[in-house]
Structure 1
Amino acid sequence: MMNSPKRKRARLACKPCRARKRKCDGQDPCITCTQWGYECYYETRQGQATPDPPARSALAPSTVEPDPSRLVQRLEANSGAAFVRKLGLKIDRTKAPKLNLFGWNTGARQLSSPLNAASALPIIEITSLEHMKSLAQIYFDKVDLCYGFIDHHQFFERLDIRWKSPLTPSIYDSVLGGIAAIGCLFSQRNVTITELHLVRSARSILDNHDLSSTPSIDLLTGWTLRSIYLRLVDSPHSTWIASSTLMHLVEASGLHPDSSSNLLPSIQCDPDIKSRLVGLAHHLNAWTSFDLGLSRVSFQNNDLPLLPSSKPGDYTAEVLGLLPVSVSLDPGRSKDDIDLTSTLSRILDGTHTQPPSVLAQCNLVLCILRRIHTQNLDISAGLAEHALALLKKGLDCARSMVMDCSPWHQVANVPFHIICVLLVMDTRPSLAVLPEAMQTLSLVACTYDTETMREAYSAACLLVLLHQQRRKDDIAILGEALNTHQQERQIASPPQLDYSAEDCSWLGALVADLPGLQRVDLDQFLYADMINDSSLLGGSE
């Protein structure tokens, strides 16, 4: 047996690899940072020079000439609105859906009569303490399991204290109102006056807060809850502004990883809560920015937080574990076919157990598939089958969440974009999933009868209809070609041809090169006398 060569250690590891105790190959950028989307950089030690960068990195990133067309492609692949618009234009330019983020969430629910324009009520005047506790329990049972960044026991303690001191409002009232409002959303399919008052109260507290010093952890928690609620029911731009504000507050607080600023002292916070809060801020801002095609907020030191510790019944780490790959898909970063296919395979192999986490996984897979399509890349049949299996699992999770009154934004977003990707894949296995995807989106639209869902379902039906019409047009053209052949046969009978495997090897190669014919059984046509079958040609002899 040959002795395996001894692994050479890098003379100098980059700072992100040293901080995370990961293997570093000493390149610039190193393979670990490239795969995980970290900003790779080195520190010069006294008496030791940094390793020479390879020739391909001789120029600083700012001096490399960008490729505008490829950047636009990546931007359109990340943005669901642009991708759907291009899909419609490709099928039928005259009837394509308008540019819109269809199915971005289940939509805003409306009261039968509008709420008056009175000022926001104090939190203790909106509902009772018992009702607040029941709404908070719904939040912790349904939302906190995958968006866990609040200490349960501390929350209920502070809730009791607040009701015992009704004349001492604080910024924490935005946390109380935010949690209760989301609890309303996850317990009532129709909006209530209580929910709207809670939302208004929390928003008023955050908007009127005088930020004269380092942002507190209570302020950051309140803004995170506001961003989550907006992502569930409000418009994309409102959510983007709120999530961007949250990211700026995180930076001002010094909570982002390895903050080196001495202008503002970092606030004291439990390390696990810190990593969860900062991770969710990145998660919300990144995906909202991708959907809108707008810039996401990034820090001077753009390291991502470490994954939170695992806890029984908590699955936040599953969602935040997708963040490094999500950030690596930023439109400003190019990824070739090897990067995309290997990333897709790695995400498909990930373990996600809870429906919200599975839908987050599906959303990332859909984004990668769109990028693969816009770059005209191919994936293996096995990888495509694996992706379709996950998408089917996502549809099942979406239906279960609708029945459980858990209107996560991906309940609407993922089924709609599954439909779009299935049409783009345009294979028999992908189209076979289409009826289930349409049924799932229909269920969401019937359960949450909002303008947002009606638009999403109508757009999906239009895309399928346009795709069907294009197929009918193709069939008509093929039928006309066969009819022409039949007419020529009536004038002069063609000579009988003796087909053999060797003589027709070129035909097999041709079929392999035509995507639309790759599923055709060539032997069926060559050896079953079907070419001479009048029924195939649409007439009788």
Structure 2
Amino acid sequence: MHSLKRKRARKACNPCRDRKRKCDGGEPCATCLEWGYECYYEVQRTKSRIPRHDDPTPRPEIETAQKSPEVTAPDTHGLVRRLEANSGAAFVRRMGLKIDPAKAPKLSLFGWNIGARQLSSGLGINSAFPVVEITSLDHIKALAQVYFDKIDPCYGFIDRRLFFERLTTRWQISLAPDLYDSVLGGVAALGCLFSQRNLTATEVHLVGLARSGLEMHVLSGAPSVDLLTGWTLRVIYLRMTDSPHSTWIASSTLMHLVEASGFHLESSSDTVLPRSSYCDPDIRRRLVGVAQHLNMWTSFDLGLSRVSFQKNDLPLLPSSRAGDYTTELLGLLPISVSLDPGKANDEANLQSTLLEIINRTHTEPPSILAQCNLVLCVLRRIHTQNLDISPSLAGRVLEMLNKGLLCARAMITNCCPWHQVANVPFQITCVLLVMDTRSSLAMLPEAMQTLKLVASTYDTGTMREAYSAACLLVMLHQQRRKDDIAVFHEALNMNQQEIQIESPSQPSPSAEEYSWLGALVADLPGLQRVDLDQFLNADMMDQPSVLGETG
């Protein structure tokens, strides 16, 4: 007879071990089931058995495992710094924090565009009518002509001849509403924006028509050229009138549609994946370029991620046309990509990048303002890095900024409310204060006058807040200078017996100054908590000049 050996469980559960009972290793075990215990097992880490060697030198794989925790940490601080430098909102916020953290203005993209206009009646229009019921064919043609005269030269991605052919056909033949109505509505809405300063019911209906057509469209395959064109027009309108986050969401949607269409690929003949039908290569490159431009700079301003393709090559530049300067705008894309916060570029190259931008030839106001906006972004990066630029380059920068102010005033006078007519003058004001030289401060009145012109022409809440914020920033720096003068005055008074120099006395704030600053605080909700008495007598932190010569 064979002797029967008791089978032992390889492991015992914790309740059986604690009570020293027999465990069969089940999950749950029989003992816990019988006694009603909660059966569980302690997870034990497997110990690696390393064979002993006489040679004390560790094995290569063991040495690698020991060194693995020393992997270099990501440049988190540098990424945050670059995000803040690209964003005009963060730049203004930092300016306020350096003066008084408790009273700094809220984080806001002041003057990001002219802002939303309101109907004189104050009533909103929510229903969307067919394009043929909104206005007449002659009126639509007139609005389209405004679009092709003022916007298309800079954002030239629509075949003009084909547009007017399809527009006429839409009125001549009784057709059911289709996707191209969004293109007709988008072009006409922008024509309204660039031909009349006040919002009208016709413009509201055209915007609603374009939006509803795009949002109601059911995508069953690769996006069509009409869909991409309609979305691009919508993003352009939002960038000029709506909030930054709404624009960012719409521009990201547009970029995803571009990728799904395959328009960003120069050749798609070697793939079986769905692609859009044929589109003229020049139009295709212009669509992709404008979409990238809008998404990239909206993302930079907000400090959010931009949509990039798996193949990160930028589209080829489109061919030049008479009276068209879209290539000037799209020629800035490679430099814009190099400023992506995710790219840890050598910051020492910022000065050469700045010089490269200034040396570019831009001929028309919208293109010049785009060039100026890129210059401002590089200057913010230089300021964040506490770098310096040569006096000669600083002089060229001021010439570029002055040119931008002239273009902004000309565009406002000609009823061309591009988003940069508000954004660039406000950011120029901030940069001039940071440069803090005699030459830069001498430009302040012109910058403020330009911003005031935009605010008075388009009397929106957005522009009123932007102008109030700019006035407040100038007031803060003025008060800092007054405090500096008081320090010098006190230093001279200490030696009054030896040096008889009559110094100007430090005047106390007048009632007029109190009322003016109070009005600014009332206009700017983020500053309503400011104690004016304490503020006008507080010591301001001084900040050395880092952009160019010292004043």
User: 1:116, 1:439 → 2: CA distance?
Assistant: 33
Secondary structure at the counterpart of residue 485 of structure 1: coil
Provide the rounded CA distance (Å) in 1 between the counterparts of 2:342 and 2:546.
31
In structure 2, the partner of 1:313 is 323
Offset at 1:265? 2.4
1:255, distance to aligned residue in structure 2 (A): 0.6
Match of 1:384 in 2: 394
Query: How big is the shift at 1:339?
Result: 1.5
Q: Which residue of 2 aligns with 1:171?
A: 179
- Would the alpha carbon gap of residues 489 and 442 (structure 1) be closer, same or farther in structure 2, given more than 3 Å must change? closer
Are residue 368 (structure 1) and residue 378 (structure 2) matched? yes
Cα separation, partners in 2 of 1:514 and 1:439, compared to 1, 3 Å: closer
**Cα distance, 1:482 vs structure 2:** 1.8
**Which structure has the bigger radius of gyration?**
2
User: 1:75-154 to 2 correspondence within 5 Å?
Assistant: 75-116=83-124, 118-154=126-162
Shift of 1:127: 0.3
Give the residue type in structure 1 aligned to 2:93: R
The equivalent of 2:7 in structure 1 is: none
CA contact (8 A) 1:254 1:267 kept: no
Contact 2:387 2:546 in 1 (8 A): no
Q: Structure 1: where are the runs of 5+ without partners?
A: 1-62, 491-512, 521-541
Match of 1:252 in 2: 260
Is the aligned partner of 1:455 residue 2:455? no
Q: Deviations over 1:295-324 (max 9, x none)?
A: 000111111101111111000000110011
How far has the Cα of 1:518 moved from its partner?
A: 6.7
Unaligned runs of at least 5 residues, structure 2: 1-70, 501-543
Q: What is aligned with 1:182?
A: 190
Q: CA deviation at 1:114?
A: 3.6
After superposition, the C-alpha distances for 1:212-267 in whole angstroms (9 at most, x for unaligned) are 11100000000000000000100001100110000000000011134766321243
Deviates more, 1:430-439 or 1:112-121: 112-121
Code of the aligned partner of 2:309: F
Deviations 1:412-466 (A, max 9, x none): 0000000001011111111111110000000000000000000000000000000
Give distance in 1, aligned partners of 2:118 and 2:125: 15
Structure 1 residue 81 displacement after superposition? 0.6
SS at match of 1:304: coil
Q: Matches of 1:129 and 1:276 in 2, distance apart?
A: 28
Question: 2:433: which partner in 1?
Answer: 423
Aligned partner letter, 1:192: T
State the partner residue of 2:403.
393
Offset, 1:338: 3.0
Task: Tell me the number of residue pairs that the alignment of Structure 1 and Structure 2 aligns.
Answer: 436
- Is 1:263 the counterpart of 2:273? The answer is yes
Match of 1:294 in 2: 304
1:338 aligns with 2:348: yes
Give the distance between the partners of 1:405 and 1:109, measured in 2 at CA: 14
Q: Deviations over 1:159-216 (max 9, x none)?
A: 0011112332211100000000000000000000000000001100000000011100
Residues in 1 aligned to 2:149 and 2:237: alpha-carbon distance in whole angstroms: 16
Q: Percent identity?
A: 71
Q: TM-score, normalised by structure 1?
A: 0.78
Does the 8 Å contact 1:138/1:186 carry over to 2? yes
Structure 1 consecutive aligned stretches of length 4 or more whose deviation exceeds 3 Å: 114-118, 258-262, 487-490, 513-520
Matched, 1:237 2:245: yes
Q: Deviations over 1:100-137 (max 9, x none)?
A: 00000001110122445552101111000000000000
Residue number among 203, 215, 218 corresponding to 1:210 in the alignment: 218
Give the AA of the match of 1:302: N
Alignment RMSD (CA, Å): 1.9
Amino acid at match of 1:237: H
Q: Which amino acid aligns with 2:148?
A: F
Q: Are 1:326 and 2:336 matched, yes or no?
A: yes
Contact 2:146 2:191 in 1 (8 A): yes
How much has 1:368 moved relative to structure 2? 0.3
CA spacing shift, 1:112–1:244, aligned 2, 3 Å: same
Aligned partner letter, 2:115: G
Residue 418 of structure 2 aligns to a residue whose secondary structure is: coil
Q: Does the CA contact (< 8 Å) of 2:266 and 2:315 recur in 1?
A: no
Given that 2:388 and 2:547 are in contact with CA atoms closer than 8 Å, whether structure 1 keeps it comes out as: no
Match status 1:435 vs 2:445: yes
Contact 1:76–1:82 (Cα < 8 Å) also in 2: yes
Please name the residue that 2:416 is paired with.
406
